[in-house]
């Protein structure tokens, strides 16, 4: 019986010792309560985790620090910085592509001139077409007026031709107006590119913004 009692005693002691070791090795938490007082415990309230805390090892040393949850203001600030970073990256890519097209502001000015002259030539061609159609329209209207003065009925074919010619003139005028707007939009886009090139290259344009082919027209209109 004595031997058996000794064995049970030793087994109980081992179990107790293992329990003490297990408890000692368990992680502990150090945090501050709602009043700012430090607390060490083997559990941590949910609301305390948002204020940040430390995980302590069995030797009482800090093995990990959990930062406080970001505030709404901090989250907004981070998001704003992310957006600014994305904008900087997007601008950097635009600048790279712009410099790939033009190495100097004057190159952009020359490209703008070519586009403007090209579109302006198309407008002048359309205005010439309007002049031709207007002459045809004048002839048809004059012929119809002579018929009316003579007391004759104007043939439906003549009336249809007049309507068709008037419609053609309106359509071409709409095209001219659209192309004029295209020229203004093109100028605005190129001006942005020219200004940006001046900024990132440190070089200033030396060419005028108005193509030389347009300067005499502007003078004649004045």
CATH number at residue 153: 1.10.287
Q: b/e map of 94-126 (b: 16 or more CB within 10 Å)?
A: eeeebeeebebbbbbbeebbebbeeebeebeeb
The verdict on residue 180 lying in a domain is yes
CA dihedral (116, 117, 123, 127) positive or negative: positive
The verdict on residue 31 lying in a domain is yes
Asked if 113 and 65 sit in the same domain, the reply is no
Asked if 205 and 168 sit in the same domain, the reply is yes
The verdict on residue 137 lying in a domain is yes
Q: Consecutive 10-residue runs of the chain (222 residues): their mean pLDDT?
A: 48 42 60 89 88 89 90 92 96 96 96 95 96 96 92 92 96 96 96 97 94 54 40
Asked if 110 and 198 sit in the same domain, the reply is yes
What is residue 34's predicted lDDT score, i.e. its pLDDT? Answer: 86
The verdict on residue 62 lying in a domain is yes
What is residue 17's predicted lDDT score, i.e. its pLDDT? Answer: 41
Asked if 183 and 143 sit in the same domain, the reply is yes
The verdict on residue 146 lying in a domain is yes
Asked if 32 and 113 sit in the same domain, the reply is no
What is residue 214's predicted lDDT score, i.e. its pLDDT? Answer: 57
The verdict on residue 34 lying in a domain is yes
Say what the pTM is.
Answer: 0.61
The verdict on residue 60 lying in a domain is yes
Asked if 112 and 205 sit in the same domain, the reply is yes
Q: How many domains does the chain have?
A: 2
Asked if 67 and 120 sit in the same domain, the reply is no
Q: What is the DSSP letter of 69?
A: P
Asked if 203 and 109 sit in the same domain, the reply is yes
What residue numbers bound the domain in which 65 lies?
24-74
Query: Rounded to whole angstroms, what are the CA distances from 215 to 3, 41, 113, 116, 211?
Result: 121, 85, 12, 13, 7
What is residue 115's predicted lDDT score, i.e. its pLDDT? Answer: 95
The verdict on residue 79 lying in a domain is no
Strand extents, DSSP E, 71-167: none
What 3-state class would DSSP assign to 209?
coil
What is residue 30's predicted lDDT score, i.e. its pLDDT? Answer: 93
What 3-state class would DSSP assign to 62?
strand
Asked if 58 and 109 sit in the same domain, the reply is no
Asked if 145 and 70 sit in the same domain, the reply is no
Strand order in the sheet with 28-32: 38-41, 28-32, 53-56, 62-66
Place of tokens 């193509």: 211
Asked if 69 and 134 sit in the same domain, the reply is no
Asked if 154 and 108 sit in the same domain, the reply is yes
């Amino acid at each position: 019986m004595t031997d058996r009692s000794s064995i049970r005693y030793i087994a109980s002691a081992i179990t107790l010792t293992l329990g003490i070791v297990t408890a000692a090795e368990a992680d502990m938490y150090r945090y501050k309560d709602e009043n700012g007082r430090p607390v060490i415990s083997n559990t941590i309230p949910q609301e305390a985790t948002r204020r940040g805390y430390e995980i302590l090892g069995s030797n009482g040393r800090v093995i990990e620090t959990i930062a406080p949850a970001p505030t709404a203001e901090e989250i907004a600030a981070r998001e704003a910085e992310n957006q600014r970073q994305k904008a900087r990256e997007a601008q950097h890519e635009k600048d790279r592509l712009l410099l790939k097209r033009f190495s100097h502001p004057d190159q952009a000015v020359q490209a703008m001139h070519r586009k403007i002259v090209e579109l302006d030539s198309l407008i002048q061609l359309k205005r010439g077409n309007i002049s031709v159609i207007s002459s045809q329209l004048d002839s048809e209207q004059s012929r119809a007026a002579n018929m009316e003065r003579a007391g004759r009925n104007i043939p439906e074919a003549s009336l249809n031709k007049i309507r068709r010619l008037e419609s053609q003139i309106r359509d071409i005028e709409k095209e001219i107006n659209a192309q004029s707007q295209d020229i203004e939009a093109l100028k605005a886009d190129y001006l942005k590119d020219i200004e940006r090139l001046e900024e990132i290259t440190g070089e200033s344009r030396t060419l005028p913004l108005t193509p030389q082919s347009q300067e005499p027209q502007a003078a004649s209109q004045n």
